[in-house]
Structure formats: C-alpha cells, structure tokens
Amino acid sequence: MTRRRRRAWTAPLALLGALGVAVAGVVVALDALDGGTVVGERCTAELDGTTYALSPTQSDNAALVVGATVRRGLPARAATIGIATALQESKLVNIDYGDRDSVGLFQQRPSQGWGTVDQIMDPLYSTDAFLDVLVEVEGYEALEITDAAQRVQRSGFPDAYAQHETRARAWASSLSGYSPATLTCELREPEGPGSADELLARAARDLGTVPSSVAEDGAVVLDATALPGGSDAGRLGWAVAQWAVAVASPQRVTGVAVADRTWERDGGGWEPSGTPALPAGQVRVTLAG
C-alpha cells in the first residue's frame, strides 16, 4: 500500500506526533482532524506516563482491530501491528478513497486480490483479511513493526509504519487488557438512548462469543471468561471493559464497571467503585436512557 498525503495539522501537539516525539506526562495527539473536521471529543490510551489520543471514530475502529485479535486468541503484538498499519494507511478511518484503487482501514486494493470494494469497505472483513495474512508471516511477533507490516501490505513507504508504533502499542495494550484502567474517553452527552441489542451485536462482531445478560437496572453484563485464554479472566475483563469505553460514543455507553473500578461518561477516568469487586472477567455496561 502507498502512503497517503497527510492533511495539514493545526496544533503543536500534533506536530510532536508527526515527529514521533513522546513527551512524558503530556498528550501526544495523532491528529485533531476526523474527516476534515476539528474534533472536540477524544479518547486516550496511556503508556509509560504518556497519553495518546484518538478521535471517537478512530477509537471505535481501534476497538474493532484489537477485538479481532482477542477473538482470534492472537498476541498483543498482532494488535500493535494492526493499529500501526491502519494509522499509517488511513489514519484509522474507514475511508472510501485512496491511492489508485485502495480503500478502507488498511487501504487494500481489489486489483491485488484483497476482495471487492464492498468487502474491503467492511472493517470487519478488511481487519480479518489483514490478520489472515499477518499470521502466515513466520515469526511476525519478533519482527520490527516495519518489516511485519510490510510483508502484509507491500507498501511503497515501508519505513513509515514505525512512527506509529508507540501509539499503537499503547492502544493495543489497553484494549488487550494488559494495561488496566488506561483507556478513557471524554465525550459529549449521548444523543438518544442506547440499545442493548446493538451493543451485544457489536460485541459479537468484534469479540466473538461473549455470554451476556441484562441486569434488573438495565445494565448489560458481559462475561469475558468465554474468550480465548479465558483462564486469564482478570486481563480479559479489562479488555472487554476498555473495549466498551472505546465504543462508547456510537453505542451511547454512559458507564462501565469491572473489578473494583468504574468509568463514567461524565467523569472521564477510572475511579474506585466503592462497592464489592465484580467477579473476575465480568463487565457491566450502562447505556443511555
């Protein structure tokens, strides 16, 4: 895949992100733009004291990419490679244009056998297509991110993937559950009520089989222990909980509880719940309305 021309960035922090500079204790934003419009809302993942911001649209797509690796039982390194590749190819936005006939999150080309345009524009299809090739790369976990991504993408600018590695690792670690309480979103109030059916359909699409129920208070209860590696219930609980935060904007999520912590849409960060800890692997998601 070839690298797309970037839009002009409008803030010093975005310039730091372009230079690949990670400054401890500050937010290094990928881009303040989402589809050409300045974004007031944002989601962040923290790694080693630095927070890396994405727009809600980018966060939603990151949740899908990492969710696919969790569903398939792949290591977090696969998630890092996937996010870094999509950041470089499309800014992690499911675009319907690109160099020559490239489209989608990974800028895959129908003329190179990736599928039809309609297929590639389905983020689930394109993510699984990317991972199908990645897992066939022998020893990809130990490869430099540029090498691993290039063996899948065949880009004209293979070194460009490296600039996104740290940001991608922060998001992959949070969404895989290895970095608890590090992913949060600052969002406006939801416009309208959420839907338990829509949330469950999205969980099944991204994560696969996740047993669920609806509590008396209307909260959707998810059981992460059914996912691959279910014996690691604590980590998987955080993976599902932070997935729920990452998709909070489109799914109208207002609260997420896991272990002894809660995230509230009007608060932003993870706080002690003040109630007995939930069973390992159990996640409660509260929806608007």
> What pLDDT score was predicted for residue 268?
75
* pLDDT in the model for residue 99: 85
Q: List helix spans (H) across 195-273.
A: 196-207, 233-246, 248-251
Query: Can you list the residues of the chain whose pLDDT is less than 50?
Result: 1-39
Give CA separation, 53 vs 9, 17, 109, 177, in Å.
14, 10, 28, 18
d(CA 125, CA 102): 15
| The pLDDT of residue 186 | 96
DSSP 8-state class, residue 169: H
The radius of gyration computed from the CA coordinates of the chain, to the nearest angstrom, equals 18
- Domain-wise residue ranges, the chain: 12-175, 189-287
